[in-house]
Chains A and B, each alone.
Chain A
Amino acid sequence: MKMNMIEKYLLDLPDYIKGNVPKSVAVEIEKLIATNAEFRAEYDAMRSVMQRIEMASEVMQSEMEQGVPPFYFANFADKVERRIAATQRTPMERVFAGLRRLFEPEGRFQLAGICAAALIVAMLFNGVLRLDFHIASGDIAALKRAYPEAQDEKNPTLATRVATVQFAAGFIPEVSLSSLNDEEEIAVLNKLKEELPTADDGDFNILSDDDVKSLLPTL
């Protein structure tokens, strides 16, 4: 047999092994297997690899089939229909369709996620608002009303000092000076810096009797 004919039948080997060749071709291939050692070796090698593929394919196919969700093919045409309809919608219709999809069984997890996220944002927002209430101007005004002496910078008496301390203590620790307006900020800083007694000035150790008398009832 001519070389090019042998090559031709060599290419038919996979189909011969699978039984997909006409009888005339099968006869020629069988003749070659019986008479040509090289062809026989090719046939054996091809049959061996095809057997291995066949065995592996059964496992592969079964694994792939297990990966297909239940009712996948029953719902497939509907999914395609929806996607085609989506491509033909106007932008407004797409928004409404997106919202409607959230209430369908497949979109419920998305809806739950969106609700949870909205709840978290609402809680955070509420928390921030509550923090703001502590430093709201209304509270500062109330403090000012309770301790009017703290506003009197020109007469630094003991009462003023005490009122200043109480006024400053009225602020919760997390409130920074940046939350006060300029006027309030200067007033508080000046009182704390200039009016409170320190170890260096005499006021820390020496208080007059009047100061002691007025201080004790307050303490």
Chain B
Amino acid sequence: MTPDKELIARFKQGGSQGEKAFTELVRRYQEKVYWVCRRMLKSHDDADDVAQNVFIKVHNGLSGFNEEAEFFTWIYRIAVNETINFIRAQKVRSAAPIDDLINEPSDDAERPDESMEREEQRRLIQEAIDTLPEKQKVVFMLRYYDELAYEEIAEMLGTSVGGLKANYFHAFKKIEEYLKLRLKQH
């Protein structure tokens, strides 16, 4: 497999070889970028839109990319920032997305008990994650699902490792509190 650095160098030389090198980079990171976006967004269409925007930004900025940094970290940072910007824009457009989710009618009546319970659990966890503050949510997603090292996340978000650990821990505590609260309401 051609190393990232070589593909980036080819891209910087320009021409059709450069575009081919870029396409190779897209193919290499498309799934990772898509899933970073998708886990934080509510639909495939939104994730598709944001993931495409990420690669367009990468294309526009790749000529000025500092090769001392990890390409993977750089592209992740763009993905996280694009997703956060998208969520912020969505929040402006729709006033209460979390309330909508909570009040969403479910088709539980048609499911068997076990499946219904699992579905209820999934819904509650999803709601709990959605209520997390922006930074905690990002840290939670990158650490829990993408299993990135704290050092990598710290480089992406410009935060200390200690701060990230606190964010990660408090994300779980918030989820726990939310679940307790919802179970009391039931």
How many A residues, CB 8 Å from partner? 35
User: Which of B27, B44, B144, B169 is within 8 Å of A13, CB to CB?
Assistant: B169
Interface residues of B in 131-186 (CB under 8 A from A): 144-145, 147, 162, 165-166, 168-169, 172, 175-176, 179
Number of cross-chain contacts by CB at 8 Å: 86
Is residue A199 within 8 Å, beta carbon to beta carbon, of the partner chain? no
The answer on a CB contact under 8 Å between A12 and B165 is yes
Is residue B126 within 8 Å, beta carbon to beta carbon, of the partner chain? yes
- In the bound complex, residues from chain B placing their C-beta under 8 Å from that of A83 are 52, 56
Chain A contact residues: helix, strand, loop or mixed: helix
Contact A77 B26, CB 8 Å, known A14-B169, A49-B176, A50-B172: yes
User: Which of B55, B147, B176 is within 8 Å of A45, CB to CB?
Assistant: B176
- In the bound complex, residues from chain A placing their C-beta under 8 Å from that of B121 are 52, 55-56, 59
- In the bound complex, residues from chain B placing their C-beta under 8 Å from that of A15 are 165, 168
The answer on a CB contact under 8 Å between B175 and A49 is yes
The answer on a CB contact under 8 Å between B43 and A14 is no
A211: min CB distance to chain B, Å = 79
Q: How far is the CA of A53 from the CA of B129 in the complex (A)?
A: 10
The answer on a CB contact under 8 Å between B122 and A59 is yes
A29: min CB distance to chain B, Å = 13
Q: How far is the CA of A87 from the CA of B19 in the complex (A)?
A: 15
Is residue B38 within 8 Å, beta carbon to beta carbon, of the partner chain? yes
Interface residues of A in 29-61 (CB under 8 A from B): 45-46, 48-50, 52-53, 55-57, 59-60
- In the bound complex, residues from chain B placing their C-beta under 8 Å from that of A18 are 144
Is residue A3 within 8 Å, beta carbon to beta carbon, of the partner chain? no
Is residue B13 within 8 Å, beta carbon to beta carbon, of the partner chain? no
Q: Which residue of B lies closest to A49 (CB)?
A: B176
Contact A84 B59, CB 8 Å, known A59-B118, A64-B38: yes
Residues of B in contact with A, size category: 35 or more
The answer on a CB contact under 8 Å between B179 and A79 is no
- In the bound complex, residues from chain A placing their C-beta under 8 Å from that of B168 are 11, 14-15
Contact A11 B165, CB 8 Å, known A76-B30, A80-B56, A83-B52: yes
Q: Which residue of B lies closest to A76 (CB)?
A: B30
Is residue A68 within 8 Å, beta carbon to beta carbon, of the partner chain? yes
Is residue A81 within 8 Å, beta carbon to beta carbon, of the partner chain? yes
Contact with A along B105-121 (1 / 0, CB 8 A): 00000000000001101
Chain B residues proximal to chain A, CB less than 8 Å: 19, 23, 26-27, 30-31, 34, 38-39, 43-44, 48, 51-52, 55-56, 59, 118-119, 121-122, 124-126, 144-145, 147, 162, 165-166, 168-169, 172, 175-176, 179
